């Protein structure tokens, strides 16, 4: 009788505070700069994936929230080929293991956040898939090693292999062997740090990230300045701010880097606009809040779309979310936050 082998794992969402934007190798997803992210709480945002394989399955197949997808895209194929070749190595080293590397795989995924929320779900999706298959195949679970496979699926996915604060070191080898994620600090290191998401629009991205990056790399003059002069310095400063739990510095760098990323988008030709008027009003409000607090207590950041992610320390939640709720209670995202507007403290 043909057996079915299976294993389950989760993959969290990560939001970059120092943005990855630009590829030096499109096929291997090698970036033009290093980046940093915070992995969000899995209670609110995660993909849960079960991977199974059997000789009786017909082909590789993927289900996301019940809908069927073929696993025949170049990126998914590459990821599965890498995982299978690692399983073959494991089988060669241990002859008592069943020979399952060539069996078709069935991947069943479920997101606990609305897929329509306009949030980058591909990072959580690839991370969950890779963790589940690595468990199924009993691969050595070095997260940095697995991050190199995740990177080929979707660049930013490599950072979702870790919790807490994560750096993606760009590396400089042509084969990408040194382009991997490493943990800067785990979540426990800075437990007060919190993130809130404001869903400004759940429409599909105007310009997908891969084509947007290519346009920026080839047409923006400002981009060269960003990757050579700005990001390398910021990468060191942001890691230091995380290690020292220095919120004002971390927050200032986060906001400046979001601004810098959206500036190179605007400097692309033709220009790419990801922020809309609501995003800009959120930026203004966070700046006013920090001014009235007399110090930086909140940071905004925006990926390739208009939705805002706000970082703050828990002790300031009543001010930060209190003010945001007063002006933006109509936006999506509040349902996944534990904030009670009755606790709001609004500055004069
Ligand atoms: O990994 P991709 O191709 O989805 O690109 C992610 C790009 C940004 O979200 C804008 C920045 C980042 O570092 O996550």
Task: Assign residue 249 the CATH number of its domain.
Answer: 3.30.70.890
Task: State yes or no: pLDDT of 287 exceeds 50.
Answer: yes
Looking at the fold, whether 42 and 122 belong to one and the same domain comes out as yes
**Closest atom of ligand 1 relative to the 18 alpha carbon:** 13
Asked if 278 and 326 sit in the same domain, the reply is yes
CB of 326 closer than 8 Å to CB of 344: yes
Ligand 1 centroid to Cα of residue 155, in Å, is 7
Q: Is the ipTM above a cut-off of 0.90?
A: yes
Q: Mean of the per-residue pLDDT values for the chain?
A: 94
Residue that is last in its domain, among 186, 201, 233 = 186
Ligand 1 atom with minimal separation from the 156 CA: 1
Residue 150 CB less than 6 A away from ligand 1: no
What are the E-state strand segments in the chain? Answer: 5-12, 14-18, 23-25, 30-31, 35-39, 46-53, 61-64, 67-70, 105-111, 165-169, 180-185, 193-198, 298-302, 308-313
Ligand 1 atom with least separation from CA of 157:
1
Tell whether 182 and 203 lie within a shared domain.
no
By most ligand atoms within 8 Å of CB, the mutation choice from 20, 33, 302 for ligand 1 is 20
Whether 271 and 244 share a structural domain: yes
Average pLDDT over residues 133-139: 97
CB-CB contact of 303 with 120 (8 Å): yes
Domain boundary among 165, 186, 207: 186
pLDDT at 116: 47
Q: Is 209 in the pocket of ligand 1 (CB under 6 A)?
A: yes
Same domain, residue pair 92 and 134 = yes
* Mean pLDDT for the stretch of residues 127-153: 96
Q: Which of 153, 186, 219 is the endpoint of a domain?
A: 186
Range of the structural domain that residue 125 is part of: 5-186
179 in contact with ligand 1, CB cutoff 6 A: no
| pLDDT, mean of residues 114-135 | 82
Considering the domain boundaries, does residue 348 fall inside one?
Answer: no
Q: pLDDT tier at 120 (50, 70, 90 boundaries)?
A: low
| pLDDT computed for residue 241 by the predictor | 98
Phi, psi of 63 (to 5 degrees): -120, 130
138: left (phi over 0), alpha (psi -120 to 50) or beta: left
Q: What is the value of pTM for the model shown? A: 0.95
Distance CA 110, CA 128 (A): 10
Specify whether 320 is located in the same domain as 175.
no
Element (H, E) at 144: helix 143-153
80 lies in the same domain as 139 = yes
Looking at the fold, whether 205 and 293 belong to one and the same domain comes out as yes
Q: How far is the CA of 181 from the centre of ligand 1 (A)?
A: 14
Q: Closest residue (by CA) to atom 6 of ligand 1? A: 156
């Amino acid at each position: 009788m043909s057996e079915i082998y299976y294993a389950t794992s989760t993959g969290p969402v990560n939001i970059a505070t120092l943005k990855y934007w630009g590829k030096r190798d499109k096929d291997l997803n090698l970036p033009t700069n290093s980046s940093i992210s915070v992995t969000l709480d899995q209670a609110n945002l995660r993909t849960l994936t079960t991977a199974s394989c059997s000789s009786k399955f017909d082909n590789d197949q993927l289900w996301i929230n019940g809908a069927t997808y073929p696993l025949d895209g170049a990126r998914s194929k590459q990821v599965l080929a890498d995982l299978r070749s690692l399983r073959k190595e494991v089988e060669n080293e241990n002859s008592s293991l069943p020979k399952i590397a060539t069996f078709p795989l069935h991947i069943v995924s479920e997101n606990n956040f609305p897929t329509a929320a306009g949030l980058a779900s591909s990072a959580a999706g690839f991370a969950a898939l890779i963790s589940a298959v690595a468990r199924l195949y009993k691969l050595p679970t070095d997260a940095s090693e697995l991050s190199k496979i995740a990177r080929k699926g979707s660049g930013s996915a490599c950072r979702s292999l870790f919790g807490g604060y994560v750096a993606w070191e760009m590396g400089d080898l042509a084969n990408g062997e040194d382009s991997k994620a490493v943990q800067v600090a785990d979540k426990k290191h800075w437990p007060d740090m919190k993130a809130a998401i404001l869903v400004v629009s759940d429409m599909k991205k105007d310009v997908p990230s891969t084509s947007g990056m290519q346009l920026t790399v080839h047409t923006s003059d400002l981009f060269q300045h960003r990757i050579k002069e700005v990001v390398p310095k910021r990468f060191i400063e942001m890691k230091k701010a995380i290690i020292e739990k220095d919120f004002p510095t971390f927050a200032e760098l986060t906001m400046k880097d979001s601004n810098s990323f959206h500036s190179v988008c605007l400097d692309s030709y033709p220009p790419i606009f990801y922020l809309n008027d609501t995003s800009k009003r959120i930026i203004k409000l966070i700046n006013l809040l920090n001014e009235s607090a007399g110090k930086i207590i909140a940071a905004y950041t925006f990926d390739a779309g208009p939705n805002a992610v706000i970082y703050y320390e828990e002790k300031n939640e009543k001010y930060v979310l209190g003010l945001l709720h007063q002006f933006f209670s109509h936006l999506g995202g509040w349902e996944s936050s534990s904030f009670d507007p009755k606790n709001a403290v609004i500055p004069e």
